Amino acid sequence: MVKKIIILGPESTGKSTLCEQLAQHYHMQWCPEFAREYLLTNGTDYSFDDLLTIAKGQLALEDEYTGMVKSQWSNVEGVNINPHTLSSSRRDPMLFVDTDMYVMKVWCEYVFGRCHPYILDQIVARRYDLYLLCNTDLPWVKDELREYPDEKNRVELFHIYKDLLINQQTPWAEISGNYEERLVTAINAVEEFIR
């Protein structure tokens, strides 16, 4: 069973960097954010319906990476290795995912004041193992896709994400500090989870 660890939070909080660092640390895969490629290809003047397309694309990408991890892991398991000789972090395959349907819900509601029922249904249907919520204490970095340079918006979005996580059942941890501190905190949260 693939353990899925979701990294979420407002824009420019180091989510993709953290995903990649965790995947490297654990020698696992990470699933990128579909929205970035979609918006780079189709432009940033997106509609409410575009967010549904992005949500479906994100889930398809997540499923694709989950399949890759399962396939890679079955090849490892086929080798005559005693799983108890592996470190605890290697007993179960993990996939680090840059974004999920909570992000799509917040995006829809923050920009358009409503959310697609499909996204809400997927929040109920899909199960994850751990959430890592990135705080806004990194400096905002401008790029062609980012919309909220104002710290007030970013802090408001962070608290929306935090409220969502407080009111659900999956374990979660807040990630803050500089990039090195974030990685240490995230690894500690993952280690606590896989114990």
> Which H or E run includes 124?
helix 117-125
| Averages of pLDDT over each 10 residues, the chain, 195 residues | 95 92 95 94 93 98 95 65 42 92 96 97 97 90 61 91 96 95 96 88
What is the pLDDT at residue 26? 93
Contacts 24+ apart (CB under 8 A), 73-80: 73/2
Which DSSP helix (H) or strand (E) runs through 135?
A: none
Domain tally for the chain? 1
All residues at 6 or more sequence positions from 152 whose CB lies less than 8 Å from its CB, including other chains: none
Q: Is the dihedral of CA 143, 108, 56, 1 positive or negative?
A: positive
CATH code of the domain in which 146 resides? 3.40.50.300
Instruction: Encode pLDDT of 112-143 as tens digits.
Output: 999 999 999 999 999 999 999 999 998 776 66
Size (the chain), residues: 195
Tell me what pLDDT residue 86 has.
44
Please report the pLDDT score of residue 126 as a whole number.
96
In degrees and rounded to multiples of 5, residue 80 shows phi and psi of: -75, 80
The domain of 81 spans 3-194
Matching residue, tokens 């694709």: 64
pLDDT at 98: 96
